[in-house]
Structure 1
Amino acid sequence: MDFEIRHIIKETPTKEEFLAWQGIAGVDKKKFVNTNGKRYKDLGLKETIDSMSDAELFGLLENDGMLVKRPILVGDDFVLIGFKKAEWETREW
């Protein structure tokens, strides 16, 4: 399998990439956010994230890779966000 490794802090995905991945994954925008991170807490996102549009949140993420939940594995027809062992093990490669 061919793959590309991206350092998500140095090569943060764009807002457009996040929006496309969200469409493929069919998940809420919050799934892409590192809610356990210091930046999330420092910015008080817990209180404001629900009132943000998808585009607004992804615009914030594209400017601060520390807010992004990792890892993100993107395939042609799937997106896995964060490491959930069972999800990764049952994936047909």
Structure 2
Amino acid sequence: MEFYGYKKCSTCRNAHKFLADHGVDVPFQDFVQNPPSVEQLKAWIAKRNEGVLPFVNTKGTRYRELNLADKQLSEAEWLDLLSTDGKLLKRPVLVTDEEVVLGFDRPAYERIVTAK
């Protein structure tokens, strides 16, 4: 299991704490300091099977600063942006053998910690 987020994000900290409180010891990987590679993003996207857009943090400041709502980007362009600017990624990202969970989806987290 892998956990990615932004250390300054309270939702990410809460999700990581939820895992720890339920006996899941997984390192917190800050993807703002160390964004995922294009290859890693492609693997996550393939596992989730919903395309790249669910991985984009459309509510974030960085998204608004770059006026991305007004742009029609290809998947390759999105991958380039997401692999260089971790603040554009929806967070947190929890990767298990079976799935990729975006955001602190409490029912998904509860199911995962129950199944471990």
TM-score range, shorter chain: 0.7 to 0.9
How much identity, in percent, do the aligned residues show?
Answer: 35
Count of aligned pairs between the two proteins: 91
Match of 1:71 in 2: 92
Structure having the larger proportion of residues in strand: 2
Q: Distance in 2 between matches of 1:34 and 1:13?
A: 15
Mark the runs of 5 or more structure 2 residues left unpaired by the alignment. Answer: 1-23
**Aligned alpha-carbon RMSD (Å):** 1.6
Alpha-carbon offset, residue 55 of structure 1: 2.1
- 1:30-53 Cα offsets, whole Å, 9 max, x none, are 1111111111011111121xx322
Q: How high is the TM-score relative to the length of structure 2? A: 0.70
User: Aligned letter for 1:63?
Assistant: T
Matched, 1:88 2:88: no
Mark the runs of 5 or more structure 1 residues left unpaired by the alignment. Answer: none
2:67 to 30, 44, 62: 44
Q: How high is the TM-score relative to the length of structure 1? A: 0.85
Match of 1:35 in 2: 58
- 1:21-75 Cα offsets, whole Å, 9 max, x none, are 0000112311111111111011111121xx3222210110111111111100111
